Amino acid sequence: MSKFDDLYIGQFTEISHTITQEDITKFVDLTGDNNRLHTDTEYAAGTSFKKPVAHGMLGASFISTIIGTKIPGDGALWFAQNIEFLMPVRVGDILTVRAEVIKKDERSQIIELSTDISNQFRQKVIQGTAKVKIIDQLPAVVPIKDITAKTALVIGGSGGIGSAVCMALAAEGFHVAVHYNSNALSATSLVNRIKQGNRKAHSFKCDITNQQEVNEMIASVEERLGIVTVLVNCSTSKIAAIKFNKLIWKDFETHINNQIKGAFNLVQAVVPGMEKQKYGKIIHINSQALETPMPELVPYITAKGALMGFTRALAFDLAGKGIQVNSVSPGMTDTEQLADVPEKVRMLTAAKTPLRRLATTDDVANAVAFLATGKSGFLCGETIRVNGGQIML
C-alpha cells in the first residue's frame, strides 16, 4: 500500500515552535532579507507595529516542516500554497501549526491540506491551503544475475546452430538438455562432447508441435538436470524455395506450426518453473530474412515475422516475473541449411557484408550465450543481429 492510500480526509496533525531571536538571525543569513522592520528595534518602534516583527515566511516555513515530516511526511512534494498573513508574529510567540487533509485526488496522487498557524493566545496568525503530491519510493532495483543451478534446454540442439549453442552454453557453466526430433546420432555425439567438459548433458527427443510430448520432455529435463533456467529455440523446418503461384496453405502451416505452435508449447511448459525461481531466459533464433527478404521464401519469412511478434509480446508480459525474452537474428550462416543455396549467391552475400564473410555457427552461439547469462541483465524484447554489418540501424 502506498503512502497516499494511508491518508484520509479529516486526518490532521500539529507541531509547536517558539520563535527566537536566533530564528530571525538565521533567516536573515539564509535569505538576505534584512528588512529593518524585522531586525532593528529602534526602527520598528517608529512604526505602527512598535516592536520588530518576525518575517512572515519564517512562520510559514513551519508548514513545510509539518508537510515534510508529518502529513504526508517522506515523499511529500509541496508544490502549491495559498496563504494569508493575519497577524504579526514576534520573538517569544509560541506557534501551533496545524495541517488537515481536506481533499484527495486518486488519479494524480495529490492531497490538499488546510494549513493554519495560531499563537499562544489561540489567535490565528496564518491560514491557507496547500497542495502536495505524494512521491512513493520506487522498489529497490534488483539486478538480474546468474543463479547457481543453471540448466539450458536447446531446441534443435542437434542442428548446426543448435549444436554450437549447446557447446557455448556448456562453456558458460550450464548443464545442457539437447533436443532433437530425428537426428538421434548427432544429439548423442554432442552430449558426449559436453560431458567431456565436466558438464551434465542429456538428449531428449520431442515433436515440439505436440503439447503432450513437450510437457513430458520438460518433466524429464527437470528430473535429470533441474529446472530449465534458459530456453533457446533454434528449431526450424526445412526451408524450400517455392514460387508464390505454386504455394499451398500447408506450406505455411508447416512453418507456422514449427515457429509459433512449437514456441508456444515450449514457453508454456517452462514458464511455471521460471516463475518459481523468479528467473529465466527465453531466446528465439529469428532470421535476417525478415529485414532483407530472399525470393520464394514467403511461408518461412511469414512464420519468422510471427515469431518476432510473439517474442516481443511475451517479453512484455513476462518481464515483471524476472523472465527475459529476447532473440538472435542471424544473417546467412554456414550450416546445412545452405546446402541448396548456389555458391554464387553465398559468395555475393559475403562480398556485400562489411566483414566480408558469412556468419559461422559460433558467431550466433556467442550472441546466444551473452543473452543466456547475467551479462544481459537489462535486455528485454531485443533482437541481436548477427550479420557482419549487413544491416545497420
Percent of the chain topping pLDDT 70: 91
What is residue 205's three-state secondary structure? strand
Q: Does 98 lie in the same domain as 212?
A: no
Examine the fold and report which residue of 104, 134, 164 is the final residue of a domain before the chain moves on.
Answer: 134
Model pLDDT, residue 362: 85
> pLDDT digit string (tens) for 95-104?
999 999 999 9
**Based on the domain organization, do 236 and 208 belong to the same domain?**
yes
Q: Residue 316, Cα to own-chain centre: how many angstroms?
A: 9
239 and 343 assigned to the same domain: yes
Cell 487533509 belongs to 101
Q: How far apart are CA 358 and CA 124, in angstroms?
A: 82
Binning pLDDT at 50, 70 and 90, where does residue 1 land?
very low
What are the CA-CA distances from residue 127 to residues 19, 101, 136, 195, 393 (Å)?
A: 18, 14, 28, 79, 59
State residue 355's pLDDT score.
Answer: 75
**Residues 84 and 227 occupy one common structural domain:** no
**Beta strands of 119-166 (E only): which ranges?**
124-134, 151-155
Same domain, 37 and 172: no
Domain count, the chain: 2
Structural domain contains residue 33: yes
Q: Are residues 198 and 344 in the same domain?
A: yes
Which of 134, 162, 196 lies at the terminal end of a domain, its last residue? 134
> Would residue 144 count as lying in a domain?
no
Q: Hey, what's the torsion of the CAs at 70, 76, 82, 83, to 10 degrees?
A: 40
260 CB neighbour count, 10 Å cutoff: 17
Does pTM top 0.75 for this prediction?
A: no
pLDDT, tens only, 47-82: 999 999 999 999 999 999 999 999 999 889 999 999
- Asked if 158 and 123 sit in the same domain, the reply is no
Q: How far is CA 329 from CA 21, 304, 389, in A?
A: 73, 10, 12
- The crossing angle, in degrees rounded to 10, of helices 262-277 and 298-318 is 20
Q: How confident is the model at residue 343 (pLDDT cuts 50, 70, 90)?
A: low
**Catalytic option among 8, 180, 279, 300:** 300
Its domain, for residue 56, covers: 3-134
| Cell numbers placing 152 | 539450458
pLDDT tens, residue by residue, 156-202: 988 889 899 999 999 999 999 999 998 899 999 999 999 998 889 99
- pLDDT tens readout for residues 368-382: 999 999 899 899 999
In this structure, is residue 207 part of a structural domain?
yes
**CATH code: domain of residue 40:** 3.10.129.10
pLDDT band at 86 (very low <50, low <70, confident <90, very high): very high
Whole-number average pLDDT of the chain:
88
Helices 160-171 and 361-372: angle between axes, nearest 10 degrees: 50
User: What's the CATH number where 298 sits?
Assistant: 3.40.50.720
Residue 43: active-site member: no
Gap between the Cα atoms of 211 and 218, Å rounded: 11
Within-domain flag for 344: yes
Residue 351: is its pLDDT beyond 70?
Answer: no
pLDDT at 342 over 70: no
Residues 175 and 200 in one domain: yes
Percent of the chain with pLDDT over 90: 64
Domain match, 174 and 86 both = no
Q: Give yes or no: residues 228 and 109 share one domain.
A: no
393 part of a folded domain? no
Does some domain include residue 145?
A: no
Residue 289 lies in a domain: yes
Considering the domain architecture, whether residues 84 and 172 belong to the same structural domain is answered as no
**Which position has the higher pLDDT, 9 or 297?**
9
Has residue 391 been placed in a domain? no
Residues 6+ positions from 68 with CB-CB distance below 8 Å: 74, 76, 78
Residue where a domain terminates, one of 82, 106, 134: 134
- The answer to whether residues 168 and 120 belong to one domain is no
Q: What is the C-alpha to C-alpha distance for residues 302 and 252, in angstroms, rounded to an integer?
A: 8
